[in-house]
């Protein structure tokens, strides 16, 4: 993969921002420190001239950024057990456990899903690029559930197109705080948060459309079990949408899960919810068209033990209260 050029004109909302801040806000997956390095290396020009990171931007100025090619570091195969839901010569579908990062990155050079798949599928290397072989979509490291991986270029291109054209159906389950309505459609654009660069929110300078459909499956003490279908695939979309709607996911401290103690009838339920060690979010099912046969295929991953245990505790509290 070679270098690429990105160019745009400074908007009124970016006027008076530092150059490194303005550039970083345009790239969701790039840190401000990395942008500063680009500027210092002469990769960023304003009206054709090299500038300092601290330079203030003005509306109407043109910005050009030469993004360096990623460093190719072929991941190593590692014999890590996988829960395979389906496999043929074109693709493999995995039930990803909590805590497994999808592909190697800074801070996670090994023990990822890609490392495990390279040991399982000897012909996977290089498909989709050596940095992320076979990967066409992602799940957060702490999210469990269904993820599909391509085994060859044709399958990768076919699956990637389905995701880009939003023809893939994805259903998630989440345990949330509060009492949401039976049905809820959240149509709220999100992007990199203006103040907290590691988070996403609707408080952003560069919003991207995001829509989630929510169905309440079960009301529980101080909480609910929800089914969510996402119609776009923005980073942290479900976590942001539910949090901003007033129903943060249990265990998701990054997006507003309550930490304070509750009293009275809800005290025990609140204890279980607040002590859950990760966001209680599970990618339950995935439906797409097979890249070779054209057949519609669906895969479902069972609710993981930790979420199921949480639900059972909440159900026992509910049953005791109804006696």
- Quick one: tokens of 88? 């043929």
CA separation, residue 323 to residues 135, 265, 270, 320 (Å): 50, 14, 20, 6
Measured from the Cβ of residue 10, the count of other Cβ atoms closer than 10 Å reads: 20
Name, in order, each residue with C-beta under 8 angstroms of 135's C-beta and a sequence gap of 6 or more: 102, 103, 113, 114, 128, 149
CA 159, 165, 167, 173 torsion-angle sign? positive
Q: Among this protein's residues, is 95 annotated catalytic?
A: no
Please tell me which residue in 29, 140, 182, 252 is annotated as part of the active site.
Answer: 140
Which residues does residue 93 pair with via DSSP β-bridges, in sequence order?
86, 148
Catalytic residue numbers, as ranges: 140
């Amino acid at each position: 993969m070679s270098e690429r050029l990105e160019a745009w004109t400074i908007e009124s909302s970016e006027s008076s921002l530092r150059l490194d801040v303005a550039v970083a806000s345009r790239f969701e997956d790039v840190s401000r420190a990395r942008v500063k390095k680009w500027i210092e290396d002469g990769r960023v020009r304003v009206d054709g001239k090299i500038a300092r990171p601290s330079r203030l931007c003005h509306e109407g100025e043109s910005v050009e950024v030469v993004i360096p090619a990623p460093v190719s570091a072929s991941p190593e195969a590692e014999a890590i057990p996988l829960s395979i839901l389906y496999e043929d010569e074109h693709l493999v579908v995995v039930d990803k456990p909590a805590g497994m990062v999808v592909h190697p990155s800074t801070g996670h050079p090994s023990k990822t899903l890609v490392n495990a798949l390279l040991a399982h599928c000897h012909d996977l290397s290089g498909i989709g690029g050596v940095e992320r072989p076979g990967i066409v979509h992602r799940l957060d490291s702490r999210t469990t559930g269904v993820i599909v991986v391509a085994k060859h270029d044709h399958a990768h291109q076919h699956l990637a197109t389905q995701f880009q054209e939003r023809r893939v159906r994805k259903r998630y389950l989440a345990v949330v705080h509060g009492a949401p309505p039976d049905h809820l459609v959240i149509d709220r654009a999100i992007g990199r948060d203006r103040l907290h660069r590691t988070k996403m929110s609707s408080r952003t300078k560069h919003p991207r459309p995001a829509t989630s459909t929510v169905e309440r499956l079960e009301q529980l003490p101080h909480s609910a079990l929800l089914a969510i279908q996402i119609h776009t695939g923005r980073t942290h979309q479900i976590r942001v949408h539910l949090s901003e709607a007033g129903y943060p996911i249990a265990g998701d401290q990054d997006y507003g899960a309550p930490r304070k103690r509750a009293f009275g009838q809800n005290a025990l339920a609140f204890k279980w919810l607040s002590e859950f060690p990760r966001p209680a979010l599970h990618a339950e099912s995935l439906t797409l068209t097979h890249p070779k046969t054209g057949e519609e295929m669906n895969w479902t991953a069972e609710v993981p033990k930790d979420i199921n245990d949480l639900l059972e505790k909440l159900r026992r509290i509910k049953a005791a209260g109804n006696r």
